[in-house]
Amino acid sequence: MQRFLQAFRVGAWLGWKTESNWTNPLFYILWSLLLPMSNGLIMTMMLRVLQRTGNASGADLLPYVFIGTVVYSIVALLLDSMAWAVLEDRERMGMLKYIAITPSSMYGYLWGRGFAKVSINFLAVPLTLTFGALVLDIPIRLSTINWPLLLVVSLLGLLIVTFAAQILAGVTLMIARHAGFVGQAVSGALYLFTGALFPITVLPNWMQAIARAVPLTYWLEGMRRALWVDAQNPVYNTGLNQLSTSNLLLILLGSAVAMAVISIPLQRRAEHRAKEKGLLDMNTAY
C-alpha cells in the first residue's frame, strides 16, 4: 500500500507537470473547457437541426444529449490516460524501463497519471454544465440536483473508468505495434454503446444488448438522474426508465467490484507478458 501511494504520488506529480503545461490560469480554464464545451455545443446544434427537419417526437432530448456528452468527455480522457502514459513513457520518452526497474508499483504510477488527467480537466465538467444551464437553458438547477446521488454515482463511475483504463494500459503493455489505437478505439466505441449521445433504444437489438452490458451506460444514466429531475420520464424512452435507482446503484457497485477483480490480475499478467516478450523497453518508432 505504501508502495502504491508512493508511486501514485509520483505519477500524479508527473502528470500535472507535463500535462497542465499552462502559463496562466485563465488560459488553463479556457483550454480545459474547450473540449466538453465544443462537444456539448456541436451536439446541441445537431439536435436542433434534426428536430427542425425531422419528425418532432415531442420529447426534447437536449438535456439527455448535453449531460451525456459533457460527462463522457471526462470518461474519454480518463479511459485513455493510462494506456497513453504507457505508450508515451515507453516509446517517446524511453523511460518505462527505468520506471519498471524501480521497486515502486506500476499500478500506483499509472493511477497517479490517470488521477492527474482527471483532476486537471475536472473543473471543466461543472463549468460546462453551468454554461449549459445558463445559456442553453438545460434544466439543471442547483435546487433540483440530487447531491448525494451525484456524489455516489460520480465516485463509482470514476472507479469503474479507472479500472477500465488500467485494463487498457495492460493491453497496451502487451502489444508491440499499433498500441496507440487501443485507447482511442475503445473510447470511440463506448461513445456509441453507452448512450452518451442518444438513448440506446435507437440501436438495433444486438447493439442494445452490448450497451446494456457496458457499466458506463448505467453510469451516464445515473449522472443524468442526479443532475436532471426529468431523466426518468418515460417520454424519453431511454430503455432504462424502468430500472430503479437503487438497482442502478447496485449495478454500478457490482461493476466496480467486477472491474477490480478483472483488472488487477490482468495488469499482473500484462507485466509478465511484457517481460516475457521484452516489451518494456520497446521502441517501435512507427
Residues that bind other proteins (CB under 8 A): 2-3, 6-7, 9-10, 13-14, 17-18, 21, 93-95, 97-104, 109, 272, 275-276, 278, 280-281
Half-sphere exposure of 155 toward its Cβ, with a 13 Å CA cutoff? Answer: 8
The nearest distance, CB 223 to other proteins, in angstroms, is: 33
Residue 99 Cβ vs other proteins, minimum distance, rounded to whole Å = 7
Direct distance between the N- and C-terminal alpha carbons of the chain, in angstroms, rounded to an integer = 37
- Tell me how far, at minimum, the Cβ of 281 lies from other proteins, in Å: 6
Q: Nearest distance from residue 108's CB to other proteins, in Å?
A: 10
Q: How far is residue 18's CA from residue 74's CA, in Å, rounded to a whole number?
A: 18
Cβ-based nearer residue to other proteins, 17 or 141: 17
Nearer to other proteins, 97 or 212 (CB): 97
Q: How far is the CB of 7 from other proteins (least distance, A)?
A: 7
Q: In the complex with other proteins, which residue's Cβ is closer, 18 or 247? A: 18
Residues 6+ apart with CB under 8 A from 84: 183
- Strand, helix or coil at 116? helix
Between residues 14 and 175, which has the closer beta carbon with respect to other proteins?
14
Where do the H-state alpha helices sit in the chain? 2-19, 25-53, 62-87, 96-100, 106-122, 124-135, 147-174, 180-193, 205-213, 215-227, 245-277
Quick one: 22 or 122, whose CB is closer to other proteins?
Answer: 22
